[in-house]
Homo-oligomer: A and B are copies of this chain.
Amino acid sequence: MQEYINKIICGNCAEVMAKMPDNCVDLVVTSPPYADNRKNTYGGVSPDRYVEWFLPVSGEILRILKNTGTFILNIKEKVVGGERSCYVLELILEMRKQGWLWTEEFIWHKKNCFPGKWSNRFRDSWERCLQFNKNKSFAMYQDAVKVPIGSWAKSRLKNLSDTDLIRDETKNNSGFGKKVANWLNKETVYPTNVLYLPTECSNKNHSAAFPEELPSWFIKLFTRENETVLDPFVGSGTSAVAAKKLGRNYIGVDIIREYCDLSESNLKKSEHEREQCHQYGLTTQEAN
């Protein structure tokens, strides 16, 4: 097992995982290639074969995950022929037959989604983050993701655009005012199952980079320091970088050599930034 810790491994993730022992990983967080996308990079899994393609992967994850571990799957179905594809729904049902518990569906509500205009559809600004478990009693450290109420209110007010103001006029004033009053007494609150994050804008040289905050949030929620986080479709390495920054062990797998190299490079870059922070006497926490 030790040979996988804090490594990026190039290979087919189902085959790589097959060599790993049972019950050895605390969290799997990944964003696999979506159906029929990225034809030039991952080979383009078609929607009607997606489930059969993914099940061997989820089967290996089920085996190597600890009994108290969690599997977070970030995914969204494409539009095909004017209709939402059903492969994600079918995948959930099949994974349950495989032995998984479908514990929860978190929503990533994207602040800045892709632009576009169509006659029969609005812009898609959300994705699914499906939570699967082996067992009803799994590890969850809710206090690690509590939101300081002060900064919440501050950023909320700072970002209050004209849009927000006008949208807010419609709501019931008395009820909301009462709620705010309640919140003022607390220093931190628990979040909900909706994550409201911007998409990553900077160039990652990878076609599907999710924001670091997304894996980071789940890593804090479902693991403690020195535990192990696996991403079988590590891509540009975002989740590995997040795990490392948070003092967790990472294991990254990708079938594309180029992406493995990119992950290594991003890991080095983040390590370099950490060192610079130490030079200036900052903690990495403050720097982020």
Contact = CB atoms under 8 A, between A and B. Distances in A.
A131 B79 CA distance: 13
User: How big is chain A's contact interface, by range?
Assistant: 35 or more
A175 interface: yes
Contacts of A191: 122
A220 to B, nearest CB: 13
Contacts of A102: 83-84, 86
Contacts of A161: 150-152
A123 interface: yes
Given A122-B142, A124-B193, A126-B194, A150 B136 contact: no
A281 interface: no
Nearest to A180: B112
A226 to B, nearest CB: 23
A288 B117 CA distance: 29
A117 B161 CA distance: 24
Given A117-B190, A148-B163, A201 B213 contact: no
A163 B191 CA distance: 11
Contacts of A121: 103-104, 193
A55 interface: no
Copies of this protein, total: 2
A86 B100 CA distance: 13
Nearest to A77: B105
Given A104-B84, A176-B112, A190 B142 contact: no
Contacts of A103: 82-84, 120-121
Give the secondary structure class of A's interface.
mixed
A19 interface: no
B163 A149 contact: yes
Interface stretch (A32-40, A164-172, A227-235, A251-259): A164-172
A84 B142 CA distance: 19
A151 B122 contact: no
A163 B175 contact: no
A192 interface: yes
Given A83-B103, A175-B201, 13 more contacts: A82-B136, A84-B103, A103-B121, A104-B121, A109-B196, A111-B171, A111-B176, A113-B192, A121-B193, A148-B162, A150-B161, A150-B163, A151-B162
5 contacts: A109-B196, A122-B191, A125-B194, A147-B166, A176-B201
Give the 5 A-B residue pairs with the shortest CB-CB distance, closest first.
A175-B201, A125-B192, A151-B161, A82-B136, A89-B89
